[in-house]
Amino acid sequence: MSSCRCGYDPPHPTRPKAPPVRGFFVLELSGISFYRWAMTVFIQTLTLSHFRSHKRTQLSFDGRPVALSGPNGAGKTNVLEAVSLLSPGRGLRRATPDDLSRKPDVLGWKIVAELSTPNGARNIQTWAEPGQSRQVRIDDKSAPQIALASLLGMVWLTPAMDRLWLEGAEGRRRFLDRMVLSFHPDHATQVLTYEKAMRERNRLLRDNVGDGAWYGALETQMAQAGARISANRRAVIATLAGHADHASPFPVADLTLDCAAPDDEAALARALSDGRRQDMAAGRSLTGPHRADLRAVWATKDMDAAQCSTGEQKAMLISLILSNARALAATGTVPLLLLDEVAAHLDAGRRAALYDAICSLRVQAFMTGTGSELFADLGPRAQQFTVSERDGRSILEETSP
Ligand SMILES: Nc1ncnc2c1ncn2[C@@H]1O[C@H](COP(=O)(O)OP(=O)(O)OP(=O)(O)O)[C@@H](O)[C@H]1O
Ligand SMILES: [Mg+2]
């Protein structure tokens, strides 16, 4: 791509690549040394062009957690949303590409990130022209969105997820699938394949098509992908249980996958075939992993997540994403964590425990809050930025101690 209408010039094709880093490196800050295990992936630079309230924002990171503070409407969540678009899908607000374009100009938007990885620097560009779908380039080559999953694992918590345990199963499935994706990058392909075949099957059902061979072909695809989806989900739930920290102040959640459909490929194909008449009456597929739900019980209290207090529910979600990060760290990689207003419902003790966990896992966690005092406990362990709004555009200033 030569140049985007939002005015961002793509990096020069011969840009120098950062040398690969290996083993530990030492970060010197105010005389304090931080030892970072360098076999992790983190965002080194991030540029937002005409992205929501950010006309042009350029940020440099060193791998420490990142704390963004500022008043309501300053543009903090917009930064997290931009980072979330470095993974496949519609990002943490599930916005359409046009919604992301800075108003009133609506020229399209662009995000460019340079990643530090054990194998050297990697470059991600993602953008959308007005009225067009989102595009991705990795290391200056066009790439499908799902290719992002193998570069960067990412898990997020947003205030909208405070009601995750109270609302419909779809949000919980999405939360689980995002964790699954951080372990199994091919999960995105399986989900896409399954959903595409299911949409096609639903269309046949609604149109009262009676062609058995046509159904059979689609049900075979659904069964193949569906069996993988269920296997991935169950494997990750077991892995998370194995990495729960029972000593932490975050409640350990016992997770179960509630799925009426068979996990086994042949049995799922049979269930789909046997259910055609019923599905035709409903006009959609009534069985399969797309109907699965994630259930959580606070283990020590034997209390269903939906019955827990707002703060406890949030703490349970945090406990899960920390288990996710711990499990991945054991495999030599860690995901990025996007924690929007994470401190809001946490008491001081849990807040300090969260920061300690993030720092000991050495994850690049992006956190937002309305006041910098929420991040005071982090001190020089994090990069701190203030976010403000001037003349209708977001401004970020680093204030790291
Ligand atoms: N497409 C857009 N073009 C321009 N501005 C936008 C666009 N979409 C959202 N905004 C504005 O971006 C501003 C910042 O939003 P953001 O959600 O990042 O705020 P925030 O700092 O997280 O605030 P809060 O503390 O309330 O969560 C808001 O004023 C919003 O109206
Ligand atoms: Mg916000």
Judge if 299 and 163 occupy the same domain.
Answer: yes
Question: 248 and 369 share a domain?
Answer: no
Q: Which atom of ligand 1 is nearest to the CA of 341?
A: 27
The confidence score (pLDDT) of residue 3 equals: 44
For residue 192, the SS3 value is helix
| 251 and 114 assigned to the same domain | no
Q: Could you tell me if 30 and 170 lie in one domain?
A: no
pLDDT tens digits, one per residue of 336-349: 999 999 987 788 99
- State the pLDDT at residue 36: 43
Q: Residue 108 CA: which ligand is closest?
A: 1
- List the CATH number of the domain containing 164: 1.20.1050.90
The predicted structure's pLDDT at residue 302? 93
Any bridge partners for residue 56, and if so which?
49
Q: Whose CA is nearest to atom 19 of ligand 1?
A: 73
Whether 50 lines ligand 1, by a CB cut-off of 6 Å, is: no
Distance 129 CA to ligand 1 centre (A): 20
Q: What share of the chain in percent tops pLDDT 70?
A: 90
| Any ligand 1 atom below 6 A from CB of 73 | yes
* CA–CA gap between residue 43 and residue 139 (Å, rounded): 14
- Residue 60 confidence (pLDDT): 97
Same domain membership, residue 392 and residue 308:
no
Determine the pLDDT at residue 7: 44
**Same domain? 83 vs 232:** no
From the CA of 103, give the closest atom in ligand 1: 3
DSSP 261: S
Q: Are residues 145 and 162 in the same domain?
A: no
Pair 55, 112 in one domain? yes
Tokens 């997540």 locate to 305
Return the sign of the alpha-carbon dihedral for residues 26, 28, 31, 32. negative
Cβ neighbours of residue 22 under 8 Å, at least 6 residues apart?
38, 39, 118
pLDDT at position 30 over 70: no
Q: Which domain holds residue 34?
A: 1-153+333-401
Domain C-terminal end among 329, 356, 383: 329
**What is the rounded radius of gyration, in angstroms, for the C-alpha atoms of the chain?**
22
> Which is higher by pLDDT, 360 or 36?
360
* Per-residue pLDDT tens digits for 260-319: 999 999 999 999 999 999 999 999 999 999 999 999 999 889 999 999 998 899 999 999
Which one of 281, 305, 329 terminates a domain?
329
**Domain count of the fold of the chain:** 2
Angstrom distance (rounded) from CA 299 to CA 255: 9
- pLDDT at residue 13 above 80? no
Q: Please identify, by atom number, the ligand 1 atom nearest to the C-alpha of residue 78.
A: 18
CATH number of domain containing 395: 3.40.50.300
**Average pLDDT value over all residues in the chain:** 90
Same-domain check for residues 192 and 337: no
Q: Indicate whether 362 pLDDT > 80.
A: yes
CA angle 105, 109, 112 (to 5 degrees): 145
Both tokens of residue 317? Answer: 């979600």
Residues 217 and 275 placed together within one structural domain of the fold: yes
Higher-pLDDT residue of 153, 134: 134
In the predicted model, is pLDDT for residue 65 greater than 50? Answer: yes
- Whole-number Å distance between alpha carbons of 45 and 115: 7
Instruction: Find the mean pLDDT for residues 27-55.
Output: 72
Measure the CA angle with vertex 287, ends 286 and 291; round to 5°: 90
Q: Do residues 230 and 309 both lie within one domain?
A: yes
Ligand 1 centre to CA of 9 (Å) is 24
Question: Which residues, 6 or more positions from 148, have their beta carbon under 8 angstroms from its beta carbon?
Answer: 86, 87, 88, 124, 126, 136, 138
Which ligand has its closest atom nearest to the C-alpha of 371?
A: 1
Task: Determine the pLDDT at residue 148.
Answer: 95
Task: Give Cα separations from 2 to 8, 49, 229 (angstroms).
Answer: 10, 15, 39
Predicted confidence band of residue 259 (pLDDT cuts 50, 70, 90): very high
Tell me: pLDDT of 17 over 50.
no
The span from the CA of 128 to the CA of 124, in Å, is 14
Whether 381 and 249 share a structural domain? no
**How far is the CA of 312 from the CAs of 77, 165, 315, 357, in angstroms?**
23, 11, 5, 17
Q: What's the average model confidence in pLDDT over 65-79?
A: 97
72 touches ligand 1 (CB under 6 Å)? yes
| Residue nearest to ligand 1 atom 28, measured at CA | 73
pLDDT digits (tens, 9 = 90+) for 174-214: 999 999 999 999 999 999 999 999 999 999 999 999 999 99
Instruction: Measure 299 CA to ligand 2 centroid, in angstroms.
Output: 31
Of 329, 358, 382, the residue at which a domain comes to its end is: 329
Burial of 359 (0-12, 13-18, 19+ CB in 10 A): middle
pLDDT at 356: 95
Report how far apart, in Å, the C-alpha atoms of 134 and of each of 109, 172, 349 are: 10, 25, 41
* Residues contacting residue 129 through CB under 8 Å, at least 6 positions apart: 4, 5, 108
